[in-house]
């Protein structure tokens, strides 16, 4: 029994009681307007920092999660797998800012939700001092900066960074030795690859583009997926039918957002057994993912209420809850 | 030879207290970590989780009881301590059930206790049921205690 997580898992068990369940999601959906929605959230402890903007409310909830996890785990690097996407987002922002010579407020994700200070990334890119960046980021930072400077091709720059981010997430999940973190890495990469393949197919991208964009993972054969994407959407469906993602085909056919929902629901279903796990880091990782899932669903509902979207169209986007 | 008999009998008593006590220390420590986690977020659960934490502690008490009875029987606590080698070995054998089963059951009972503490954290109203799961493990510690007690008292009537 991994003794160092007994205390942490017991605290997680208590915190799980405060997670929003599907009944709360229904209550939020049935509210008449945005302010009423905020009142229901406030009743469940989502008070934010006093501001009524959805972004500050959601950001404050995310900060609460990481603060809580910080109390439980001394070495937070075990959860870097969840934060690498933010680091690479900041890298993308820094490269574009430096290469275009402009400055934009609010394009960086706050350092509390990253493994590297965004200011450090910005300085490294500005000074072309790639050694200052973590090892997994050095080569892609150099490559992406040079690509954008020489070709001005923003899409190519994005592809390079996105692929590097996915490879880092996948490898970090595998290296952790934890089943949940490895599964998260695998599913994140696989779902991103499927999305890229579908989008590339619809926009008529060639095999060279696909080989450059797709990131390796265990559950997909990239050669077959790239060949299918270069052919037709039907070829992609035929290939996926032979993989663990056969269930996703109807959702992919429906819409990109339906497929995203399917991906998130799949992760939630995979982590749900952690509710009964009394030790190990699994329940902590599952709690972080459950909170992220909760925040995503609340964001969908809040933006639906703000934009007066029909309840049914919002409801079909809301994710399955962990509890 | 008579000294060797006493040595083996005392070894049995020591093992009984040592192994069962060590198992309980490990078990209570593990359950204590989980209990502290629950009390951090919900102090009202203190009495419930304390009971669950204490469950793996009983093996240490059983081990102490066996050690105490053995020492009384072999004359360490007063009386005649002159026992044969064969009798000494019999006392050692009599103490082993409590020593070994005590250690193993305390370790496994702590796992059941940790899980039960998690159950109480989520459903405090299910405390009664939560108690039963780790208590089931206690059965085997009690059986070992009975065997050890019966054997120790039985040896006293054996003439070897």
A50: left (phi over 0), alpha (psi -120 to 50) or beta: left
> Cα-flanking dihedrals φ and ψ of residue B159, to 5°?
-100, 90
Q: Give the residue among A84, A78, A113 at the shortest CA–CA distance from A284.
A: A78
- The mean per-residue pLDDT over the stretch B41-57 comes to 95
The CATH class of the B2-155 domain is mainly alpha
Partner residue opposite A14 with nearest CB, options B30, B42, B110 = B42
Residues B58, B59, B63, B66, CA torsion sign: positive
Place of tokens 């595998």: A174
> Rounded to an integer, what distance in angstroms lies between the CA atom of residue A248 and that of residue A255?
11
CA dist A90 and A110 (Å) reads 9
Q: How far is it, in rounded angstroms, from Cα B6 to Cα B73?
A: 11
- Chains A and B form CB pairs within 8 A to the count of 56
Orientation of helix B46-54 relative to helix B85-122, angle to 10°: 160
- Domain ranges (residues) in chain B: 2-155
Cβ–Cβ gap A7/B37 under 8 Å: yes
Asked whether the beta carbons of B104 and B139 are under 8 A apart, the reply is: no
In the structure, what pLDDT confidence band is assigned to residue A3 with cuts at 50, 70 and 90? low
Q: Are B84 and B5 in contact (CB under 8 A)?
A: yes
A-side interface with B, Cβ within 8 Å? 1, 3, 6-11, 13-17, 278-279
Q: What is the pLDDT of residue A1?
A: 54
Dmax (CA) for chain A in angstroms is: 54
- How does the average pLDDT of chain B come out, rounded? 94
CA distance B6 to chain A (A): 39
Collapsing DSSP to helix, strand or coil, A277 comes out as coil
pTM for the predicted model, two decimal places: 0.85
Rounded mean pLDDT of B71-94? Answer: 91
pLDDT in tens, A299-321: 999 999 999 888 888 888 899 99
Residue in chain B lying closest to A278 (CA): B115
Residue with tokens 């509210």: A31
Share of chain A above pLDDT 90, in %: 67
Burial annotation B23-54 (CB, 10 A radius, 16+ → b, else e):
bbebbbebbbbbbbbbbebbeebeebbebbbb
Q: Which residue ranges make up each domain of chain A? A: 1-80+283-302, 83-176, 178-254
Per the CB < 8 Å rule, is B30 touching A7?
A: no
Chain B residues with at least one Cβ partner in A under 8 Å = 30, 33-38, 40-42, 110-111, 114-115, 117-118, 121-122
CB contact under 8 A, B114 and A279: yes
Query: Interface pTM (ipTM) of the complex?
Result: 0.81
Write the burial class of residue B109 (CB in 10 Å: 0-12 exposed, 13-18 middle, 19+ buried): buried
Residues of chain A with Cβ-Cβ distance to B134 below 8 Å are: none
In B, which residues are within 8 Å of A3 by CB distance? 30, 33
Q: In this predicted structure, what is the pLDDT of residue B80?
A: 81
By the 8 A CB rule, do A34 and A275 touch? no
Chain B residues with CB-CB distance to A10 below 8 A: 33-38, 114, 117-118, 121
The CATH superfamily label for domain A1-80+283-302 reads ATP synthase (C/AC39) subunit, domain 3 (1.10.132.50)
Is A99 a residue whose pLDDT tops 90?
Answer: no
Question: Residue B82's pLDDT band (boundaries 50, 70, 90)?
Answer: confident
Which of B34, B115, B122 is facing A7, going by the closest CB pair? B34
């Amino acid at each position: 029994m991994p003794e160092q997580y007994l205390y942490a898992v017991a605290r997680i068990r208590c915190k799980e009681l405060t997670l929003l369940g599907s009944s709360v999601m229904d209550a939020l959906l049935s509210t008449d307007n945005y302010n009423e929605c905020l009142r229901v959230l406030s009743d469940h402890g989502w008070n934010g920092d006093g501001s009524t903007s959805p972004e500050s409310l959601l950001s404050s909830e995310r900060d609460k999660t990481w603060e809580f996890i910080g109390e439980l785990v001394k070495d937070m690097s075990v959860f870097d797998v969840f934060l690498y996407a933010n680091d690479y987002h900041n890298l993308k922002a820094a490269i574009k800012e430096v290469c275009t010579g402009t400055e934009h407020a609010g394009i960086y994700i706050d350092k509390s939700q990253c493994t590297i200070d965004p200011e450090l990334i910005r300085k490294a890119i500005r000074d072309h001092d790639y050694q200052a960046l973590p090892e997994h980021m050095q080569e892609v930072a150099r490559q992406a900066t040079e690509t954008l400077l020489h070709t001005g091709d923003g899409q190519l720059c994005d592809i390079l960074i996105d692929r590097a981010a996915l490879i880092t997430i996948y490898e970090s999940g595998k290296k952790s030795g934890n089943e949940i973190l490895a599964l998260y890495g695998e599913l994140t990469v696989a779902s991103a690859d499927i999305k890229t393949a579908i989008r590339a197919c619809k926009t008529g991208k060639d095999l060279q583009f696909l080989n450059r964009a797709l990131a390796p993972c265990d559950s997909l054969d990239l050669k077959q997926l790239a060949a299918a994407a270069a052919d037709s959407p039907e070829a992609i469906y035929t290939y996926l039918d032979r993989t663990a993602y056969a269930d996703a085909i109807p959702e992919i056919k429906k819409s990109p957002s339906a497929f995203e929902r399917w991906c998130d629901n799949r992760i939630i279903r995979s982590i749900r057994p952690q509710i009964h796990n009394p030790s190990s880091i699994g329940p902590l990782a599952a709690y972080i993912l459950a909170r992220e899932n909760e925040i995503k669903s609340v964001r969908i509902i809040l933006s639906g209420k703000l934009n007066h979207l029909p309840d049914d169209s919002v409801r079909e986007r809301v994710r399955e809850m962990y509890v | 030879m008579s000294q060797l008999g006493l040595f083996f009998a005392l070894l049995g008593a020591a093992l009984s207290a040592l192994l069962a006590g060590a198992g309980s220390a490990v078990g209570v420590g593990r359950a204590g970590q989980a209990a502290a986690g629950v009390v951090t977020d919900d102090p009202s659960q203190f009495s419930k989780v304390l009971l669950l934490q204490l469950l793996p502690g009983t093996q240490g008490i059983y081990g102490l009881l066996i050690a105490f009875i053995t020492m009384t029987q072999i004359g360490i606590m007063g009386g005649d301590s002159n026992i044969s080698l064969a009798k000494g070995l019999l006392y050692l054998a009599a103490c082993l059930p409590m020593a070994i089963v005590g250690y193993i059951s305390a370790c496994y009972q702590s796992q059941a206790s940790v899980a039960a503490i998690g159950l109480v954290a989520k459903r405090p109203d299910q405390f009664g049921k939560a108690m039963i799961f780790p208590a089931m493990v206690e059965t085997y510690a009690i059986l070992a205690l009975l065997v050890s007690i019966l054997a120790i008292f039985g040896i006293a009537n054996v003439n070897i």
